[in-house]
Amino acid sequence: MKIMFNGYLGILALLIAPMAAAQMNSADLYAARSSFHSSGCSSCHTAADSAAGPSLQAIAKRYKGKAVVAELADRIRSGSQGRWGDLPHPAIDYLSQSEAILMAKWILGGAR
């Protein structure tokens, strides 16, 4: 019985962790939105429609329920290619790691 209970707790933790990571306070939401717009991300990404890059909704949908905040933050800062087509995502290396993490959480949380 104790093993089953611990197993259920582990499963519950895995399900809740990605949602908890995406929850942000109002100051963090403001900072993430500001970084998104001031760093030029809105030139290629919009909330709902694909432009040069995927929409923020498409990104959130692809990674829903997955713990990828750090991975997405690294891609924002370092750039990437081949995940959404042939067009490369440029490195935005002037963002701090904490700014990139806030932006990744904001995107994964629905960019609202």
- Output the pLDDT for position 7: 46
Q: pLDDT tens digit string along 20-64?
A: 444 799 999 999 999 999 999 999 999 998 889 999 999 999 999
d(CA 44, CA 59): 13
Does residue 84 carry a pLDDT above 50? yes
Direct distance between the N- and C-terminal alpha carbons of the chain, in angstroms, rounded to an integer: 42
The answer to whether 69 touches 103, Cβ cutoff 8 Å, is no
* Average pLDDT across the chain, whole number: 84
- Output the pLDDT for position 23: 78
pTM of the model: 0.76
In our burial notation (b when 16+ CB lie closer than 10 A, e otherwise), range 85-109 reads eeeebeebeebeeebbbbbbbbbbb
The answer to whether 111 touches 22, Cβ cutoff 8 Å, is no
10 Å CB burial of residue 84 (0-12, 13-18, 19+) is middle
- Output the pLDDT for position 94: 95
- Output the pLDDT for position 5: 43
- Output the pLDDT for position 3: 56
Question: Which two tokens mark 28?
Answer: 């963090």
CATH of 2-108, one of 1.10.760.10, 3.30.565.10, 2.60.40.10, 3.40.50.10310: 1.10.760.10
